[in-house]
Amino acid sequence: MSTRHFLTLLDLTPEELQGLIERAVELKRMRNAGEIYEPLKNRVMAMIFEKASTRTRVSFEAGMAQFGGHAMFLSPRDTQLGRGEPIEDSARVISSMVDVVMIRTFSHETIETFAKHSRVPVINALTDEYHPCQLLADMQTYFEFRGSIKGKTVTWVGDGNNMCHSYVNAARQWDFKLNIACPTDFAPDQALVDANSDRVTIFESPEAAVKDSDLVVTDVWASMGQEDETKERLREFRGYQVSPDLMDLAHPDALFMHCLPAHRGEEVSEDMMEDPRCVAFPEAENRLHAQKALLEFLLTH
């Protein structure tokens, strides 16, 4: 079988994605019960980080160790990746020595080029355009707290960024409605929205968008690589903070998610992070379980 990559949620079928979620729930149960399960003994993952990370690094590294394998952290600062060695050459070399490669980088094209020249599966651990691993954890979390998300309404509040784009793909793959509330100049990619216009609606007003929603999600206003725009963004996004008052307009059973790190007082209020509707911390833990299900799928099926 040809090598499967996970660059966006569209690389797996809806059935495969839901299978991963259910497997993640089982792997979580097994870990909590203290069961040793090492399907990746002697397997090695290279983790290339061109941007900072807490959750992604810890979850992939811990996940590989728990599976009996090993994870290797590579940064551009101390590899030839940072000194201009072509992506194509790096992909051929690294993939000849390891079993799977995880990459966090800027341009989505970089990861596509890497995957094209890699002989082992490549996992997108965040690009400027997409963050599919986070969506596995988010979908697992919704499933655990509320059951199937099919037919539900999800509202994205804030920047039309990499997370927002992955929510558009998730809406398609898990079959839910997605409202996006964003300032006009910070809307998600128009072509992606147009391709999903049957389920995605853009709003300017967060209050109108969250009405009757089952899940409300936000993320930082300035993503990694946009630090220079922070001041302007703080101004432009005023009015897009998720707070308990905004959540009160959603469905009474609605959950709140944030991929973290959170900037309290900016995209989310201090009290929202402590609100019982906030599931951001179980969501963060699920990065571990969902990515273990992904690794098992890519390396043992």
Task: List contacts with ligand NVA (CB under 6 A).
Answer: 126, 161-163, 219-220, 223-224, 259
Residues facing 178 on adjacent strands: 154, 200
Is residue 11 part of the annotated active site? The answer reads: no
Residue closer to ligand NVA by CB (options 95, 166) is 166
Dist. CA 78–CA 175, nearest whole Å: 43
66 is catalytic: no
Task: Select the residue interacting with ligand CP from 23, 55, 152, 292 (CB under 6 A).
Answer: 55
Q: Which does 11 bind (CB under 5 to 8 A by kind): ligand CP, ligand NVA, none?
A: none
Catalytic annotation, pick one of 5, 43, 287, 289: 287
Of residues 259 and 299, the one with the C-beta less far from ligand NVA: 259
Output 54 or 80, the one with its CB closest to ligand CP: 54
Residue 43 to residues 47, 56, 97, 101, 295, Cα–Cα distance (Å): 13, 19, 10, 11, 11
Q: Return the residue nearest ligand CP (CB atom).
A: 56
The closest of 257, 222, 229 to 242, measured between CA atoms, is 257
Binding-site member from 124, 134, 141, 269 for ligand CP (CB under 6 A): 134
CA 160 from centre of chain: 14
Distance CA(174)–CA(154), nearest Å, equals: 11
226 binds ligand CP (CB under 6 A): no
Collapsing DSSP to helix, strand or coil, 34 comes out as coil
Span of 15-23, 37-45, 52-60, 263-271 interacting with ligand CP by CB under 6 A? 52-60
CA distances from 208 to 132, 154, 180, 238, 240 (A): 27, 13, 10, 16, 12
Catalytic residue among 55, 104, 165, 233: 104
> Is 56 a residue that touches ligand CP (CB under 6 A)?
yes
What's the CA gap between 88 and 119, in Å, rounded? 11
Compose the 252-271 pattern: x for residues touching ligand CP by CB under 6 A, - for all others: -------xx-----------
The answer to whether 18 is a known catalytic residue is no
Q: How many residues would you count in the chain? A: 301
Q: Is 131 marked active-site?
A: yes
Q: Tell me which amino acid residue 57 is.
A: R
Say if CB 124 and CB 8 are below 8 A apart. Answer: yes
Residue number, 40 or 180, with CB nearest to ligand NVA:
180
Tell me which residues are annotated as active site. 104, 131, 134, 219, 259, 287
Residues that bind ligand CP (CB under 6 A): 53-56, 126, 134, 259-260
